[in-house]
Amino acid sequence: MKSLPRRMKKKKRKTKELHKKIIKEINEATPYEVWEGVRDNFTFGFIGATLVVFIATKTDIAVLLGYLAYYFFMGKIVNRPKYVTDLGKLIVFPIPSALGAFCGYKVSILLIEWIKTL
């Protein structure tokens, strides 16, 4: 069997090093730090996605409430420390944000139906 080309070996080695680095960062971080990042990023994604659906459906009161929630929460997001670890950049930020956005998209449809019944 042929060996891998040099650049593929180098990429594979970098990937292994990145995985080791992330595992080290997980062990160094406190569960509270990780939970706080996951919670905030999920919430940020959730609010952002609901706002998009509210605007698309032209539900004015929901848009107003969505903007209020979004900008109140934006103050918390902007004033927190920047992610400097690969754990934060590659896991704690993108994954909860995407899951929150998907949940916000699904829940916003239910919220709009509920608002229309009022």
What pTM was estimated for this model as a whole?
0.82
CA-CA-CA-CA torsion sign (27, 28, 32, 35) = negative
Contacts of residue 89, defined as CB under 8 A and 6 or more positions apart, other chains included, come to: 83
Separation of first and last alpha carbons in the chain: 69
pLDDT one-digit tens code per residue, 16-73: 888 999 999 999 999 999 999 999 999 999 999 999 999 999 999 999 999 999 999 9
Percentage of the residues of the chain whose pLDDT score is greater than 70:
92
pLDDT one-digit tens code per residue, 63-112: 999 999 999 999 988 898 888 899 999 999 999 999 999 999 999 999 99
